[in-house]
Homo-oligomer: A and B are copies of this chain.
């Protein structure tokens, strides 16, 4: 799905790795979010006449296509659905704010550490961590576009993380031996990912 397009359906991400991205007129490209397996659900709807960003698959992607009219009917039939979607979107904004902070204030090393922490936790909560490791299909170019660094520099920083024993990453497999140390380095706090089960305001 490209920037500027008007999507024909609403989409619900079911499985696979993907990303949202934005580009500048001259081609500079920023990945602004990832989908990973295990994400509860990421609804992709159009609030605009044109998409303000693009969506790309990283691995083959399983998505649910929903007709706009059906979607609309669903919202009418299930009065609580809109609230749930709203709440979901509140989480999305929180994540996006964290990303703004990430590229804005953290050093190259911290940025990578932070993104790895986030992805790792999301995969973990979805049950995708086995023996402390997981599939990790992102290339260094992907990581570069998500962290606003050059692929060359991502490479060097990953080497440093490996040297420090903070990550093992090879052949599209990622292991994090000591997540707490990595969180520490990244200044990572999982607040922003977890809509508290105990938040009183927004019953689903």
Contacts of A93 in B (CB 8 A): 89, 92-93, 96
In the bound assembly, the distance between CA atoms of A94 and B96 in angstroms comes to 9
> Once the chains bind, are A203 and B83 in contact (CB under 8 Å)?
no
Given A22-B97, A191-B52, residue A201 in contact with residue B46 (CB < 8 A): yes
Shortest Cβ distance from A197 into B: residue: B49
For A47-86 the 0/1 string (1 means CB < 8 A from B) is: 1111011000000000000001001100100010011011
> Once the chains bind, are A105 and B201 in contact (CB under 8 Å)?
no
Choose, from A23-31, A129-137, A156-164, A168-176, the stretch at the interface. A23-31
Given A47-B94, A194-B48, residue A105 in contact with residue B28 (CB < 8 A): yes
Partner of A148, one of B10, B46, B104: B104
- Taking residues whose C-beta sits less than 8 angstroms from the other chain, chain A's interface range is 35 or more
Contacts of A83 in B (CB 8 A): 75, 82, 86
Asked whether any CB of chain B lies closer than 8 Å to the CB of A100, the reply is: yes
Contacts of A194 in B (CB 8 A): 48
Can you list 16 A-B contacts with CB-CB less than 8 angstroms, sorted by A residue number?
A: A4-B191, A10-B201, A20-B97, A30-B100, A45-B90, A45-B201, A47-B195, A48-B94, A48-B195, A48-B196, A53-B97, A71-B201, A82-B82, A86-B89, A93-B93, A96-B96
Interface residues of A (CB under 8 A from B): 4, 10, 20, 22, 24-26, 28-30, 32-33, 45-50, 52-53, 68, 71-72, 75, 79, 82-83, 85-87, 89-94, 96-101, 103-106, 148, 187, 191-192, 194-196, 198-203
